[in-house]
Amino acid sequence: MKYRTMGTDPATRLKVSVLALGAMLFGSRTDEKTSFAVLDRYVEAGGNFIDTSDNYAFWEDGGQGGQSEELLGRWRRSRGIGDEIVIATKLGARPLAPGTGYADNAEGLSAKVIRESAERSRERLGTDRLDLLYAHIEDRTVPLRETVEGFAALVAEGTVGLLGVSNHAVWRVERARALAAAAGLPGYEVLQYEHTYLRPRTDVPGGLFPDGSLGGADAQLLDHLRAEPDLTLVAYSPLLKGAYTRPDKPLPTEYDHPGTPARLGVLKDVARETGATPNQVVLAWQIGGPLPVVPLTGTSSVAQLEENLAAVDLELTGEQRARLDAAR
């Protein structure tokens, strides 16, 4: 396994594996035995960066979520897992009532919610401190200053380490970071957005932002990452839920545009040259690229995990990477 460091403060920065494991469906669609087997193999391979959220997976049973955190808590206790494993979680998108969703009834990002939701997550995970805590989705009903101060208070108390943000407009991320810096408070240092090799359209409505755009790492966000070297991008859905390799998994509609066939063609060429799968090439492209990107993959079997783990040691040549980058 290979590792990278996230964060700048010695008191909160984290050394994490370059491949993160998503636990979104653990404890719900993925049963406990399989979930434990995947987690055990990931740790055995040197992985130490596991991702979840307080609302996973509310859509599976019409509830409010919490199944994934609860399973990770049981796994930690049964295996004697301590601080050696970094578990990141999120808050802000948990439905306030069963049968609703984050679009119309989310818990939000008030100081009160941040404190209470973080406490519930610590209880479910069985830990006194959350290594990395994200603001999951935007809450424009609450002043940004209140959200910034709410997260910072938990860091000051020692119940939260590093702070992150997911699925926010870039201007709001930077405004929140500026507010934190001006007040001498810890701010967001980890960004979690959907990011893959294919480039999505940015004009498809129905996304996560109030203007209807998608929660993806677009050109603006990647440019922001280049300008702020202290930030790290955790890239969720890098493999598009199997769409690169499975005929029964069509590409999402936002990737239906003239530039996609060219990039898919180069991806397949490089996979053939390296003897790797397209999935492995996508992950290696992210891991070895110039920007600090940690791909986050969700797996439902040990076999899927093994394929992803092999990408850590896949070294693309400069020429292969240049062809992948240049495809339009």
Query: Which residues are marked as active site?
Result: 56
Closest CA to 135 of 124, 144, 126, 127: 144
Q: What is the Cα Rg of the chain in Å?
A: 19
**E strands within 181-304?**
190-194, 232-236, 293-298
Q: What DSSP character marks residue 30?
A: B
Query: Rounded to an integer, what distance in angstroms lies between the CA atom of residue 290 and that of residue 266?
Result: 19
Among the residues of 80-217, which ranges form H helices?
102-105, 111-125, 144-157, 170-182
- DSSP label at residue 317: P
Angle between the N-to-C axes of helices 278-287 and 302-310, in degrees from 0 to 180, rounded to the nearest 10: 50
Task: Retrieve residue 48's tokens.
Answer: 């130490």
> In whole angstroms, what is the distance from residue 254 CA to residue 129 CA?
38
